[in-house]
Amino acid sequence: MKKIRAFLEGLTGKSKENDSPQPRIGMVDPQTILYSLPTIAKDLPELEEIPAQPSSGETVLHEDDWRQLEFLPTESLADIQRQMKEFKAFEAEHRVEHGWRKIFVRPSLPGATFGETFTLTALQRALENNSPERIYLSTTSSSPRAVKNGFALPLGGNVLLYGDIANNRVRTLAGSVGEAGDHMRVFHAFDRITSLHPVIVVDWRAMMIVTEKSGEQYQVWRP
């Protein structure tokens, strides 16, 4: 019995001589570590070091949130639907009570890019937003850095569009809805952007795609 008690005291870091907990170092099986979300984008933007940390009013996203809600050209719909079907099966297979055993890393699809006429200038005009801001990405292991050629366009209601450009052409266009954000502003942006170039809105966390607007109704596809 004494041996059993001594063994238990050793596990808890306690003994008769010292009842305070002692720090313990142990091994963790990587297979037991769970992910807190089921999917992330594989292709992250190029980042730049900054001389000072962003102010409290500037947009800082965690890298895992990059392109969780994204705007893509309508021509890519079939490819995105196939990718989302793959993701749904993957998510169901690896989902457990408190997270996911594996994470679905989404590569950018070749057809999911905008044409040369889809410029930041045209986007600002369509959204009636003339004040693009910088956007920053943070990681669990580093301080925020600026997205090279990145932009953020606040829409009000704790909603913004963001992305990056190459030679003024929009390369990535995504959205972020903050706490208690007005989701309808995403749909309003969809209407305005569609007048510039037909787009779809892909919500990876909700596993849904807004494909078009018919009358006053938005058509939604789910895998």
- pLDDT at position 5: 39
- pLDDT at position 22: 61
- pLDDT at position 89: 98
Encode pLDDT of 119-139 as tens digits: 999 999 999 988 899 999 998
Encode pLDDT of 11-30 as tens digits: 334 444 455 556 666 555 56
Q: Which residues contact 220 (CB under 8 A, 6 or more apart)?
A: 208, 209, 210, 211
Q: Which residues contact 185 (CB under 8 A, 6 or more apart)?
A: 155, 156, 157, 159
Whether the CA torsion 170, 175, 176, 181 is positive or negative: it is positive
Percent of the chain with pLDDT over 90: 74
pTM of the model: 0.84
Q: Using CB atoms within 10 A of its CB, is residue 42 exposed (0-12), middle (13-18) or buried (19+)?
A: exposed
Distance CA 194, CA 198 (A): 4
Contact 161, 153 (CB under 8 A): yes
